[in-house]
């Protein structure tokens, strides 16, 4: 029986499993969707899919580099609880994913999930993830990754515990400077490298806020204009890496530090576990009340 796209879509909708896994199951069941679901339940794939809707906001940041530190990868892999985040099986999986990102050419997470987790093996990243979900009983996701290829400098990294990771490409300077800068980025979480890279929508929103605040002073328009420009300069200094005061020497900006070392930051990236993920807030009082009403 021909395995049509509509059959694959139906099985994906009912199980939440990956496209290749669905197609394989349908081939084995000769196009029988119910039989494919039964087989996937036995193999644990459907079990993993049932957990796919659960929020996974814990996990780890993993870094991987080649021997001469000219190529690197940083990956965020999520799970539901800090306990599983420390499990050896989970951390081994995350490390293998980072190594696959470094070695492979996937442009996004969807493409990465269809690649083999280990070179020379058939098991894909997604199949390994599903097996681990079934084994450990929690939803898990490869959320994002970034790949670096140093063009003119060298890659420097810093990982704060397992929850924050920083990779930067530094042109000039030494290893101590690179590590200090990576630690600074981990601590301050700048929005972007320089004022020229600050997103315009963020600038517009901040200008609107500081203008409204300045007008509350009741001062003349020309004074208000100066107040707004001053506050915008302060905003850029606090939120751009180059403008920030260096954490180890607050009297010196990062920009001045780099100039004194005849160095420059080509690019950088900072990941923090769970940032931007809306975690479910448990209200135990409401939960107990609801149970009491049902009893």
Residues in the chain: 295
Task: Specify the CATH number for the domain of residue 86.
Answer: 3.30.479.20
Whether residues 40 and 82 fall in one domain? no
Give the per-residue pLDDT at 10.
80
Indicate whether 59 and 115 sit together in one domain.
yes
Residue 173 falls within a domain, yes or no? no
Q: What is the pLDDT of residue 265?
A: 96
Give the end-to-end CA distance of the chain in Å, rounded to a whole number: 51
Tell me whether residue 162 is in a domain: no
Handedness of CA 123, 124, 130, 133 (dihedral sign): positive
Could you tell me the CATH number of the domain that includes residue 23?
A: 1.10.8.10
pLDDT for the residue 282: 46
Does some domain include residue 9?
yes
* Per-residue pLDDT at 50: 56
Whether residue 179 is contained in a domain is answered as no
- Compute the C-alpha angle 291/292/295, nearest 5°: 85
Rounded Cα gap, residues 117 and 138, in angstroms: 20
Environment class of residue 249 by beta-carbon count within 10 Å: exposed (0-12), middle (13-18) or buried (19+)? exposed
Q: Print pLDDT tens along the chain (295 aa).
A: 788 888 888 877 666 666 777 888 889 888 888 888 777 766 655 555 555 556 678 999 999 999 988 999 999 999 988 899 999 999 999 999 999 999 988 999 999 999 999 988 999 999 999 999 888 888 899 999 999 999 878 999 999 999 999 999 999 999 999 999 999 999 999 999 999 999 999 999 999 999 999 998 889 999 999 999 999 999 999 999 999 999 999 999 999 999 999 999 999 999 999 898 766 544 445 544 554 444 4
Does residue 163 lie in a domain region? no
Whether residues 25 and 85 share a domain: the answer is no
At residue 93, the pLDDT reads 97
Q: Domain span at residue 41? A: 5-50
pTM of the shown model:
0.74
Count structural domains, the chain: 3
Residue 68 lies in a domain: yes
Task: Please tell me whether residues 119 and 42 are part of one structural domain.
Answer: no
Residue 277 counted as domain residue: no
CA-wise closest residue to 75 among 142, 160, 148, 150 = 142
CA gap 192, 26 in Å, rounded: 47
């Amino acid at each position: 029986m021909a395995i049509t796209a509509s059959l694959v879509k139906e099985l994906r909708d009912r199980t939440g499993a990956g496209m290749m896994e669905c197609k394989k199951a349908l081939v084995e069941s000769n196009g029988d969707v119910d039989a494919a679901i039964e087989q996937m339940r036995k193999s644990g794939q459907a079990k993993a899919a049932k957990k796919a809707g659960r929020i996974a906001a814990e996990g780890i940041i993993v870094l991987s580099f080649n021997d001469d530190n000219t190529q690197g990868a940083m990956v965020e892999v999520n799970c539901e609880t800090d306990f599983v985040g420390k499990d050896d099986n989970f951390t081994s999986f995350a490390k293998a994913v980072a190594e696959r990102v470094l070695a492979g050419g996937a442009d996004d997470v969807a493409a990465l999930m269809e690649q083999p987790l280990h070179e020379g093996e058939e098991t894909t990243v997604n199949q390994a993830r599903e097996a681990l979900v079934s084994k450990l009983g929690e939803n898990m996701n490869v959320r994002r990754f970034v790949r670096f290829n140093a063009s003119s400098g060298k890659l420097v990294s810093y990982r704060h515990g397992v929850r924050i990771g920083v990779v930067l490409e530094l042109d000039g300077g030494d290893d101590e400077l690179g590590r200090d800068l990576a630690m600074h980025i981990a601590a301050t979480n700048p929005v972007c490298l320089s004022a020229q890279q600050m997103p315009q929508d963020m600038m517009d929103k901040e200008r609107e806020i500081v203008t409204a605040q300045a007008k509350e002073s009741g001062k003349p328009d020309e004074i208000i204009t100066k107040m707004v420009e001053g506050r915008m300069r302060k905003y850029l200094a606090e939120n751009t890496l180059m403008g920030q005061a260096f954490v180890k020497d607050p009297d010196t900006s990062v920009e001045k530090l780099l100039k004194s070392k005849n160095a420059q930051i080509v690019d950088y990236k900072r990941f923090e576990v769970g940032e931007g993920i809306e975690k479910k807030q448990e209200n135990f009082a409401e939960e107990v009340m609801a149970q009491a009403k049902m009893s």
